[in-house]
A and B are shown apart, each in its own frame.
Chain A
Amino acid sequence: MLIFILRRLGLMLLTAFVLTFIVFYLTNLPPNLEKLARSEGSVRMTDESVAAWIEQNGHGGSVLLRYGQWLGVVPGWTRVDDKGVPRGRCFAAGTDPTAAPRYCGILQGNWGHSTFFRGPVLPNLAEKLSATGWLMLWVMIVMIPSSLIIGVVAGMREGSRTDRVLSTFSIATTATPEYVSGVILVALLASPVTGLSPLLADWGLIEGKVLFQGAASPDRITFWSFTLPVMTIALYGIGYIARMTRASMTEVMTAQYIRTARLKGASFRQVVLKHALRNALIAPFTVIMLQFPWLLNGVVIVETLFNYKGFGWTLVQAAGNNDINLLLGCSVVAVFVVLVTQLISDIGYVFLNPRIRLS
């Protein structure tokens, strides 16, 4: 077991290095750096001064060396510019270079300067991540119990009418990406001209013009502002996890030991709760964990749609404004989340499944 975890960890680290290098390479392509030079320096720079700016600000030289500096395993660059002022990666222009540390990359906690936030990347990113954390917490609270219940109830009696109805619902939600369900939910529940809101307002049942808010903010988390974004992300996941749970439940319900339990006289209720459920929930655990990368997508779409200033919104802004350090920071977080959930799902699967654990 220990060797298994160590091997997985090693593979994960290797993957993390390769992935961050790919992201670093793609964000630091020459055209991106030129764009950065023109937005930081001046729009009317000549090609020579753009090249000089790139060189002066430590974006020249080999990609591997720059990646090492960014990571913090290669000493940061230092240079004296044409005005005689020492400049470098690890200290601000004009301060004493000898007092600065030699290495300053993300391993040392220096995630660089964000041109979009006009400040360091790390605290800003942490703040946005906590905003997204609240959103995800509510998504999980809604998504996991409801999808498991739908899946178990549908899979309990395969082919029954309940099963048909719930399966159709699951298929319909998996066919609805977040940007579609978000638009439909807003039109139905948060628009003053269509859907339910004008009706309810006419009858005097709601005070404002709309039932739910079509925008959300991390500062004010209320039922009325959070319902739509949470439902939008959760709906897609509910369908998918419910289908997986149903498949695993139907498989378990046809197993020999379930028949034995029925034959010895246990009630259907007891069979489902005591015998089937535990075995049927092993597969959905993996699925829920592997669903995280897709939830990350949902977060980006929903935060854009509902203008919720969290991690996904930050990623879109970073990419749209060519903020290289911020985009790199977002990528590190995203890659980390994906790899850690993969690791947890692998280990959890082995841990939960006695057939694999004991062999």
Chain B
Amino acid sequence: MEDLTYTAILGRVIAQFLPVWIALVVTFAVSIAFKRRLGLYGKLFDSPVGMIGFGIVMFWVFTALLADHIITFDPYLQISGMKNKPMGTVLANAAEGQYSHFLFGGDHLARDVFSRMVMGAREVLKIAPAATLFAFMVGITLGLPAGYFGGRLDTGLSFLANLVLAFPVILLFYLLVTPEIRQTGIPVVLAALLFLFPIIFLTVLLNARFFTDPMKRNLYVGAVLIIGAWAYSGLAFNADPLGVWTMSPNMLNVFVSVVFVNAPTVFRIVRGIVMDLKSRDYVAAGQTRGEGPWYIMLWEILPNARGPLIVDFCLRIGYTTILLGTLGFFGLGVAPDSPDWGSTIDDGRKTLSMFPHAALVPALALMSLVLGLNLLADGLREESLRD
């Protein structure tokens, strides 16, 4: 057995991603076949930019889901003699059933860079979309009334949002994501506060629509409250009696900080859109019919604001990915041997000029994911402006 050439590495990497290619082909075939019936999502397949972006994003999503079938080694496994080895190095004495090469070389602790990159996708995609979703819930729940009612409420909330935005992000991370702050319980308090918003949002949303039909209302709102309280107890306080919802203190700290940093920007966007939309005729019509303010906000204004919000959601997942990478890069809040992209870039940069592959591989992975999200957002913007 010999070391691989770059062409051979490329071939083997493509082969290793086989499950992802199959999943991608199926997704694209089904979506293009039914694209006229799929609304905005279907229209995405009319724009080449959007399709490229969607393809890259789905590539990483499938990689994260199918990571167990793609990796060639355990991402934490150290193999002696493979320290800092270049791309395509053959294993000195591979055991039976073990993969024969380090496709993207070894890092400074003799672990497989390829497998760590694949597992890193899972680490990143586990947090980024969920954190963005929570930030949107907080931003929408506060931004709607601020824009719709205006006045004191708006002044107060805007002041708070600007306060958070005036913090340089890195300083905030250095203050909020530390082992010391975990001792004081501030992350749990923040989590208790921020995790309330999705429950409030869904409760108000359903109540505003169905309060004229108490039977239905009680069923829906009751379900939301029960499931919400269950998830809330597990995620915020790690006190879920059944143990389904849990989050490690490290992860909670990172998650809460990222939501906290993102929410004010979403708040400002939502507030701006609502102030623009509230002078429209259909809002006046709703008011004349005697609809309540929350019904108008959530069921008249919000659906009409969905275009810019969906676009911003895609962009913001990319931004959150960058923020998570920043946290990893400074070694904040993640386990030291975690394979997430930020930490691996940080590990690799110490040997950057002699062995660049260890930092370069996760760096390119992170860049491609964010680029894919930006292209997807661009495609969505183009298509949503068309109608």
Question: Which residues of A line the B interface, CB within 8 A?
Answer: 11, 15, 18-19, 23, 26-27, 29-32, 35, 171-172, 174-177, 179-180, 183-184, 186-187, 190-195, 210, 214, 293-294, 296-297, 300-301, 304-305, 315-316, 319, 327, 330-331, 334-335, 338-339, 342
Known: A26-B181, A35-B180, A191-B353. A15 touches B170 (CB 8 A): no
Interface check B370, CB cutoff 8 A:
yes
Q: Is the CB of A183 within 8 A of B353?
A: no
- Complex Cα distance A206/B367, Å? 31
A183, B168: Cβ atoms under 8 Å? no
Residues of B near A18 (CB, < 8 A) are 163
Q: How far is the CA of A129 from the CA of B187 in the complex (A)?
A: 32
Residues of A within 8 A of B176 (CB): 26
Q: Is the CB of A179 within 8 A of B356?
A: no
- Tell me, rounded to whole Å, the shortest Cβ–Cβ distance linking B186 to chain A: 8
Q: Hey, which chain B residues are within 8 Å of A11, CB to CB?
A: 159
Partner of B168, one of A31, A184, A334: A334
14 A–B pairs (Cβ distance < 8 Å), ordered by A? A29-B181, A35-B180, A171-B371, A177-B326, A183-B345, A183-B349, A183-B363, A184-B367, A186-B352, A187-B356, A191-B354, A193-B356, A214-B353, A315-B170
Seed contacts A180-B366, A186-B356, A192-B353; 13 additional CB < 8 Å A-B pairs: A31-B184, A171-B371, A177-B370, A179-B325, A179-B326, A180-B325, A183-B359, A187-B359, A296-B170, A300-B170, A304-B329, A327-B174, A338-B167
B residues in contact with A195, CB < 8 Å: 356
Residues in chain A near residue B167, CB distance under 8 A: 19, 335, 338
B175, A27: Cβ atoms closer than 8 Å: yes
Q: Are A175 and B318 in contact (CB under 8 A)?
A: yes
B168 touches A297 (CB 8 A): yes
Q: How far is the CA of A19 from the CA of B172 in the complex (A)?
A: 11
Complex formed: what's the CA distance from A175 to B168 in Å?
20
* Given A35-B180, A186-B352, A331-B171, A174 contacting B374 (CB threshold 8 A): yes
Q: Are A339 and B166 in contact (CB under 8 A)?
A: yes
B374 touches A187 (CB 8 A): no
Q: How far is the CB of B126 from chain A (nearest CB, A)?
A: 19
Q: Which residue on B lies nearest to A170, using beta carbons?
A: B374
B residues within 8 A CB of A15?
159, 162-163, 166
Residues of B within 8 A of A194 (CB): 356-357
B183 at the interface (CB under 8 A from A): yes
- CB proximity of A217 to chain B, nearest CB, Å: 16
Contacts of A35 in B (CB 8 A): 180
- Report yes or no: B356 in contact with A297, Cβ–Cβ below 8 A: no
B367 touches A176 (CB 8 A): yes
> CB distance A175 to B370 under 8 Å?
yes
Q: For B330, list chain A residues within 8 Å (CB).
A: 304, 316
Q: Given A194-B356, A315-B170 in contact, is the A305-B349 Cβ separation under 8 Å?
A: yes
A210 to B353 CA separation, bound complex (whole angstroms): 10
- Is A32 a contact partner of B180 (Cβ separation < 8 A)? yes
Q: B169's closest neighbor in chain A, by CB?
A: A297
**Chain B neighbourhood of A327, CB < 8 A:** 174
Q: Is B360 an interface residue (CB 8 A)?
A: yes
Residue B128 at the chain A interface, CB threshold 8 Å: no
What's the nearest-Cβ distance from chain B to residue A129, in Å? 14
Cβ-defined contact, B354 with A293, below 8 A: no
**CB <8 Å contact, A175 and B356:** no
- Is the CB of B322 closer than 8 A to any CB of chain A? yes
| A331–B166 alpha-carbon span in the complex (Å) | 11
B352 touches A214 (CB 8 A): yes
Q: How far is the CA of A216 from the CA of B81 in the complex (A)?
A: 33
8 Å CB contacts to A: which residues of B330-387?
Answer: 330, 342, 345-346, 348-349, 352-357, 359-360, 363-364, 366-367, 370-371, 373-375, 378
Q: How many whole Å from B239's CB to the nearest CB in chain A? A: 23
Shortest B233–chain A CB gap in Å is 26
Interface positions, chain B 276-331, Cβ under 8 Å from A, are: 318, 322, 325-326, 329-330
B180 near A301: Cβ-Cβ < 8 Å: no
Most central of B168, B352, B353 by chain A CB within 10 Å: B168
Q: Across the interface, which residues of A come within 8 angstroms of B184, CB to CB?
A: 29-31
A191-B356 contact in complex given A171-B371, A301-B329, C-beta closer than 8 Å = yes
In whole angstroms, how far apart are the Cα atoms of A27 and B174 in the complex? 10
- A192 nearest CB neighbor, chain B only: B353
Give B174's nearest chain A residue, CB to CB. Answer: A319
Name the contact of B180 in the complex, choosing from A29, A186, A294, A297 (C-beta under 8 A): A29
